[in-house]
């Protein structure tokens, strides 16, 4: 009986976000004729795809009880790295050698860059016991700086049509970024719910000490989580760069906040151990609909930020209140 | 310095009772505190000393009973009220803020102010200095508490108590963390406080200290008053007898014992030492050796701070850099550097703190049960939930765990059932050696019995059990052999036949002559 009640409440918490999303959709449909159209629907899904990539990684990190403030900066350096390699290759002037990169080679290099920086975060956090907030704040600065060094402060543009496919292409009438983010959501829903690793992530966030005493390799799990988060940030970076056909030196500025917001609105507890990828998907959708709606209504971008902040506060306040009711 | 007749009573507890869910912590206890005297309170762990201390200092109210201060009834709703009435406690874990100065700590929350409303540091430091001088402690009031030795920190706590004009100072095992020279300084200090008329309540396990400084003695056992009187009227043996009581030997004889067969040796530990994490050269465990046979329960008895937990943690690979010694499993040398390695070798460990260390409270019964053996439920890198549920259900049936369902949060279970979930988690790893640290702490009597019979069942099936406990009846009931630890050392070993409560307690109190 107790079990049933707890379940029901858990479901209600999940429904809170769905109800909020539906209310927003209904409200927007009345306020703007352009909102409830197929084209705008795909538009929203495409717009949230980058945030979704970051937020999936962020969800894993937050589930372990950590935080990653470097996702936006890692996105920027990974995108710029891939773009630079594709456009210019690497020149070794002494050896009179120029290594050119194919599209897939450049993409791979961008992904590796993200994975490496994420791994580095994990190393700092586990080996040197630096709190995640500080370790990833350091990485934020490092990756931002590296992006400026690599791009020399100028956008890298003209990346060719093949590279543009991942950001702008369509398959079966559905935009490529939507395919990619949908695939990632599917994979990580399975990872979190159906694999040993996923279970360990929740256990670690629930109680690090109990996880350690149950024989879990706590440090390895943490490193894996931050590495994955870095890799997913790189996917976001490639999508952004491809979509704009340009690697901007300050791409992804402030994206870490959007992704933390999506995770929190999606009901994942910042203290770790509780939350879900599907919740984060909802969180991304809510933020996406909000951004899209406010633009359609011609609300000033400054007000958009204010509204977004209020939505985050409301979501978390409701979450806390419903937990208290339990 | 024996006074003529009985000295004046300053504080008195009359007919104190207090119960917590599942435990009667205090049952109709009387305790009298005399002015200018050292009033010792002794008893085993769980005898009710801490509860009594908490009531007298206003941490929580009693269920029934009265507190009389100089003959007038008083009620303390919070610690501050007791403090203002002149009753201070010096806890075992000192309550100072390490990054503040000595003076700031002494006057925390009631700093003297200047006319502008700023903190009057000059006055605060001057008053601190005179307090510390009175205590003959030459510490600069400006130095940070974190730079002081433990003994000096204790004096700062006493200075803080005096700054409240305390007439009663309760000290909870004050000598457990300090060196011998610091101890003699503390004793001198206690003497001078007594001559100023301050009443000291002294809680300790070290009976030899009482011979030096004690005036009055009260013994508690299982929440009940057993006796009190002048220190000089008791010797150590009679105190120990009062602490353990006669009833436990009765328990032992009435209870049905399983057969005692000696199996082959399964696990051996040689010269295990564990160093304190931030105090190199200080040992929590010093050169402890023992062995456990298949199907045997080896009990490790020791009072608070004897090093039981540190020993088990070291064997489980949790104190790598700080532990030394050799371990052998089934005759082969094993080197265990992490809990994962311990589990693979066939060692399981149910820690003392169930909620923080044993369980992930946010997870369900099933998730907690399978946590250490999840690999078994895996097929091609994906968890097979029906396989997992079947396995978990098997253990839930076998251990008779009462839970509404497998997906109930483990948080909602009773303490006894939570402990069974932890045991189920370990049985799922098919261990050879099961280490239990205080397996029934905070569990009600019915569930205790169930856990006991479970342990007997498991050893019957050949499992070796290493059980650390501070509850003597528990040790006596389950163990085939008993080793006793005191201050990190093994002080005695008894076979089941030899073991009697008094000699075990003596070894735990570390009477050098008796060992």
Q: What is the pLDDT of residue B66?
A: 92
Residue B107 CB neighbour total at 10 angstroms: 21
Any residues with CB less than 8 A from the CB of A272 and at least 6 apart, and which? Answer: A62, A63, A64, A65, A66, A204, A205, A206
Instruction: Note the CATH number of domain B256-346+431-515.
Output: 3.40.50.300
Residue by residue, pLDDT tens for chain B (515 residues) are 444 567 899 999 999 999 877 678 899 999 999 999 999 999 877 788 888 999 999 999 999 999 999 989 999 998 889 988 999 998 877 788 989 999 999 998 888 898 888 999 999 999 999 988 888 888 899 999 988 888 888 889 888 888 888 999 999 888 877 777 788 888 988 998 999 999 999 998 778 888 889 999 999 988 899 989 998 888 888 888 888 775 444 444 334 445 455 578 899 999 999 988 777 778 889 999 999 999 899 999 988 778 899 999 999 999 888 888 999 999 899 999 999 999 999 999 999 888 889 999 999 999 999 999 998 888 888 998 899 999 999 999 999 888 888 988 998 888 889 999 999 999 999 999 999 999 988 777 778 888 998 998 899 888 999 999 888 888 888 999 999 998 888 999 998 888 888 888 888 887 543 33
**Residue tagged 């359609």 (tokens):** A296
Sheet holding B323-329, edge to edge: B279-293, B265-276, B323-329, B332-334
Alpha-carbon dihedral B24, B26, B29, B34, rounded to 10 degrees: 170
Any residues with CB less than 8 A from the CB of B232 and at least 6 apart, and which? Answer: B2
Any residues with CB less than 8 A from the CB of B45 and at least 6 apart, and which? Answer: B303, B304, B470, B471
Residues of chain A contacting residue B349, judged by C-beta atoms under 8 Å apart: 213
Evaluated on CA atoms B394, B395, B400, B401, the torsion sign reads: negative
Q: Would you tell me which residues 157-216 of chain B have a C-beta closer than 8 angstroms to some C-beta of chain A?
A: none
Residues of chain A above pLDDT 90, percent: 60
Any A CB within 8 A of B412 CB = yes
Q: Is pLDDT above 80 for A1?
A: no
Query: HEC profile for B260-301?
Result: CCCCCEEEEEEEEEEEECCEEEEEEEEEEEEEEECCCEEEEE
Q: What is the pLDDT of residue B513?
A: 39
Closest chain B residue to the Cα of A193, Cα to Cα? B383
- Rounded distance between C-alpha atoms, residue A124 and residue A68, angstroms: 12
Closest CA to A326 of A84, A103, A87, A12: A12
Reported as half-sphere exposure (CB side, CA atoms, 13 A), residue A164 has a value of 9
Mutation site for B-interface testing, chosen from A186, A193, A214, A276 by largest number of B Cβ within 10 Å: A214
- Shortest CA gap A268–chain B (Å): 13
Confidence of residue A103 (pLDDT cuts 50, 70, 90): confident
| Position A5 in a domain | no
Q: Would you list the DSSP string of A263-284?
A: HHHTT--TTSS---HHHHHHHH
| Position A39 in a domain | yes
Cβ distance A207 to B360 less than 8 Å, yes or no, reads yes
In angstroms, the Cα distances linking B349 to A213, B230, B267, B359, B433 are 8, 44, 14, 12, 9
Closest CA to B169 of B38, B65, B12: B38
Q: What is the pLDDT of residue B255?
A: 45
Residue with the bigger pLDDT between A223 and B111: it is A223
- Rounded distance between C-alpha atoms, residue B88 and residue B90, angstroms: 7
Picking from B342, B362, B412, the nearest residue to A206 by CB comes out as B362
| Position A242 in a domain | yes
Longest dimension (CA), chain A: 75
Sheet holding B64-69, edge to edge: B72-74, B64-69, B9-20, B23-34, B224-230, B216-221, B38-42, B199-203, B168-172, B87-90
Termini Cα distance of chain A: 14
Cβ distance A3 to B374 less than 8 Å, yes or no, reads no
| Position A14 in a domain | no
* DSSP-assigned beta bridge partners for residue B113: B119
Evaluated on CA atoms B439, B440, B443, B449, the torsion sign reads: positive
Closest CA to A56 of A188, A245, A176: A188
Residues of chain B contacting residue A202, judged by C-beta atoms under 8 Å apart: 360, 362-363, 367
Closest chain B residue to the Cα of A203, Cα to Cα? B360
The b-or-e profile of A226-263 (16+ CB within 10 A means b, else e) is bbbbbbbbbbbbbbbbbbbbbbbbebbeebbbbbbbbb
Residues of chain B contacting residue A220, judged by C-beta atoms under 8 Å apart: none
Q: Which DSSP category does B57 fall into?
A: T
Any A CB within 8 A of B371 CB = yes
Q: Would you list the DSSP string of B347-360?
A: EEEE-S-IIIII--
Query: HEC profile for B411-451?
Result: HHCCHHHHHHHHHHHHHCCCCCEEEEECCCCCCCHHHHHHH
In angstroms, the Cα distances linking A112 to A81, A231, B257, B304, B407 are 10, 7, 64, 53, 39
Q: What is the pLDDT of residue B419?
A: 92
Q: What is the pLDDT of residue A3?
A: 46
| Position A7 in a domain | no
- Rounded distance between C-alpha atoms, residue B476 and residue B484, angstroms: 12
Would you state the structure tokens that stand for residue B341, as one six-digit string?
Answer: 């390695």
CATH number of the domain where residue A280 is located: 1.10.3470
Q: What is the pLDDT of residue B38?
A: 94
Q: What is the pLDDT of residue A241?
A: 95
Q: Write the burial class of residue B51 (CB in 10 Å: 0-12 exposed, 13-18 middle, 19+ buried).
A: buried
Q: What is the pLDDT of residue B276?
A: 84
Total-model pTM: 0.80
Q: Where are the domains of chain B?
A: 9-244, 256-346+431-515, 359-430
Cβ distance B375 to A1 less than 8 Å, yes or no, reads no
Pairing assessment for the beta strands B332-334 and B382-383 based on DSSP bridges: unpaired
| Position A71 in a domain | yes
Cβ distance A209 to B357 less than 8 Å, yes or no, reads yes
Longest dimension (CA), chain B: 84
Residues of chain B contacting residue A217, judged by C-beta atoms under 8 Å apart: 338, 340
Any A CB within 8 A of B421 CB = no
If one counts the domains in chain A, the total is 1
Any B CB within 8 A of A207 CB = yes
Any B CB within 8 A of A299 CB = no
Cα three-residue angle B412-B21-B407, rounded to 5 degrees:
10
Cβ distance B362 to A3 less than 8 Å, yes or no, reads no
- Rounded distance between C-alpha atoms, residue B315 and residue B292, angstroms: 13
| Position A1 in a domain | no
Any B CB within 8 A of A215 CB = yes
Domain B9-244 and domain B256-346+431-515, same fold? Reply is yes
Pairing assessment for the beta strands B216-221 and B224-230 based on DSSP bridges: antiparallel
Any B CB within 8 A of A129 CB = no
Q: Can you tell me whether residue B170 is helix, strand or coil?
A: strand
Any A CB within 8 A of B318 CB = yes
Q: What is the pLDDT of residue B262?
A: 59
- Rounded distance between C-alpha atoms, residue B469 and residue B486, angstroms: 13
Any B CB within 8 A of A194 CB = yes
Residues of chain A contacting residue B412, judged by C-beta atoms under 8 Å apart: 2-3, 6
Rounded to two decimals, the ipTM of the complex is: 0.85
What range does the domain containing A269 cover?
A: 19-318
Reported as half-sphere exposure (CB side, CA atoms, 13 A), residue A33 has a value of 0
- Shortest CA gap A3–chain B (Å): 6
Evaluated on CA atoms A236, A71, A59, A42, the torsion sign reads: negative
Distance of CA B100 to the CA centre of its chain: 29
Any A CB within 8 A of B381 CB = yes
In angstroms, the Cα distances linking A194 to A304, A307, B368, B443 are 38, 36, 15, 34
Question: What is the arithmetic mean of pLDDT over A297-303?
Answer: 86
Q: What is the pLDDT of residue A326?
A: 53
- Rounded distance between C-alpha atoms, residue B337 and residue B322, angstroms: 11
| Position A9 in a domain | no
Q: Topology of domain B9-244, per CATH?
A: Rossmann fold (3.40.50)
Question: What is the arithmetic mean of pLDDT over A207-219?
Answer: 95
- Rounded distance between C-alpha atoms, residue A44 and residue A31, angstroms: 17
- Asked if B481 and B299 count as a contact pair (C-beta separation under 8 A), the reply is yes
């Amino acid at each position: 009986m107790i079990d049933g009640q707890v379940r029901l409440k858990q479901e209600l918490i999940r429904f809170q976000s769905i109800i909020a999303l539906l209310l927003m959709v209904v409200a927007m449909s009345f306020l703007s004729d352009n909102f409830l159209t197929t084209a705008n629907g795909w538009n929203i899904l495409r717009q949230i795809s980058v945030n979704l990539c970051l937020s999936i990684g962020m969800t894993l990190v937050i589930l372990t009880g950590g935080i990653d403030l470097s996702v936006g900066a890692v996105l920027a350096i990974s995108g710029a790295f891939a773009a630079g390699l594709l456009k210019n290759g690497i020149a070794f002037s002494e050896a009179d050698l120029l290594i050119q990169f194919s599209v897939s080679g450049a993409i791979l290099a961008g992904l590796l860059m993200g994975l490496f920086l994420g791994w580095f975060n994990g190393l700092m956090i586990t080996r040197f016991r630096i709190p995640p907030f500080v370790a990833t704040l350091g990485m934020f600065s490092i990756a931002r700086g590296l992006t400026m060094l690599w791009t020399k402060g100028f956008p890298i543009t003209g990346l060719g049509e093949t590279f543009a496919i991942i950001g702008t292409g369509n398959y079966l009438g559905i935009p490529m970024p939507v395919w990619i983010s949908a695939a990632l959501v599917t994979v990580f829903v399975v990872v979190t719910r159906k694999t040993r690793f996923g279970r360990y992530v929740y256990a670690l966030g629930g109680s690090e000490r109990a996880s350690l005493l149950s024989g879990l390799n706590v440090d390895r799990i943490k490193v894996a989580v931050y590495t994955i988060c870095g890799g997913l940030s790189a996917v976001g970076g490639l999508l952004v760069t491809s979509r704009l056909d340009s690697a901007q030196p300050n791409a992804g500025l402030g994206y870490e906040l959007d992704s933390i917001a999506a995770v929190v609105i999606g009901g994942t507890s910042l203290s770790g151990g509780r939350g879900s990828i599907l919740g984060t998907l909802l969180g991304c959708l809510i933020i996406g609909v909000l951004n899209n709606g406010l633009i359609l209504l011609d609300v000033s971008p400054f007000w958009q930020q204010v509204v977004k902040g209020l939505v985050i506060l409301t979501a978390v306040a409701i979450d806390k209140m419903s937990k208290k009711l339990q | 310095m024996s006074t003529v007749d009985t000295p004046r009573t300053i504080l008195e507890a009359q007919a104190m009772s207090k119960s917590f869910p599942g435990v009667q912590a205090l049952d109709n206890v009387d305790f009298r505190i005399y002015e200018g005297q050292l009033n010792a309170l002794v008893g085993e762990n769980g005898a009710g000393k801490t509860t009594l201390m908490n009531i007298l200092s206003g941490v929580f109210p009693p269920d029934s009973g009265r507190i009389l201060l100089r003959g007038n009834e008083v009620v303390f709703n919070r610690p501050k009220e007791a403090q203002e009435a002149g009753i201070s406690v010096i806890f075992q874990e000192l309550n100072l803020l390490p990054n503040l100065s000595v003076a700031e700590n002494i006057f925390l929350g009631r700093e003297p102010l200047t006319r502008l409303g700023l903190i009057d540091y000059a006055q605060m430091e001057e008053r601190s200095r005179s307090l510390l001088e009175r205590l003959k402690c030459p510490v600069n009031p400006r130095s940070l508490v974190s730079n002081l030795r433990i003994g000096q920190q204790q004096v700062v706590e006493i200075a803080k108590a005096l700054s409240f004009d305390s007439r009663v100072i309760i000290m909870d095992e004050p000598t457990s963390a300090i060196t011998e020279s610091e101890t003699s300084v503390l004793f001198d200090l206690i003497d001078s406080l007594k001559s100023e008329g301050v009443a000291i309540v002294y809680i300790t396990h070290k009976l030899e200290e009482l011979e030096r400084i004690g005036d009055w003695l009260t013994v508690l056992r299982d929440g009940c008053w057993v006796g009190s009187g002048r220190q000089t009227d008791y010797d150590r043996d009679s105190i120990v007898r009062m602490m353990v009581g006669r009833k436990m030997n009765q328990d032992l004889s009435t209870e049905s014992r399983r057969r005692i067969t000696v199996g082959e040796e399964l696990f051996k530990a040689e010269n295990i030492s564990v160093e304190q994490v931030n105090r190199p050269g200080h040992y929590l465990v010093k050169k402890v050796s023992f062995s456990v046979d298949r199907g045997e329960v080896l009990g490790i008895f020791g009072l608070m701070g004897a090093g039981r937990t540190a020993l088990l943690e070291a064997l489980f690979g949790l104190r790598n850099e700080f532990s030394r010694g050799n371990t052998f499993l089934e005759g082969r040398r094993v080197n265990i550097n992490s809990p994962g390695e311990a589990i693979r070798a066939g060692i399981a460990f149910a820690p003392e703190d169930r909620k923080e260390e044993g369980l992930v409270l946010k997870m369900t019964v099933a998730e907690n049960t399978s946590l250490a053996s999840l690999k078994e439920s895996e097929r091609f890198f994906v968890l097979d939930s029906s396989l997992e549920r079947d396995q978990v259900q098997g253990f839930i049936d076998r251990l008779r765990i009462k839970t509404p369902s497998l997906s109930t949060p483990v948080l909602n279970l009773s303490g006894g059932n939570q402990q069974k979930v932890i045991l189920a988690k370990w049985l799922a790893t098919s261990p050879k050696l099961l280490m239990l640290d205080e397996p029934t702490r905070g569990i009600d009597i019915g569930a205790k019995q169930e856990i006991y019979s479970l342990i007997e069942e498991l050893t019957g099936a050949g499992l070796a059990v290493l059980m650390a406990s501070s509850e003597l009846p528990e040790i006596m009931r389950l163990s085939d052999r008993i080793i006793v630890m005191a201050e990190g050392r093994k002080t005695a070993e008894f076979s089941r036949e030899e073991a009697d409560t008094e000699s075990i307690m003596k070894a735990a109190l570390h009477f050098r002559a008796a060992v």
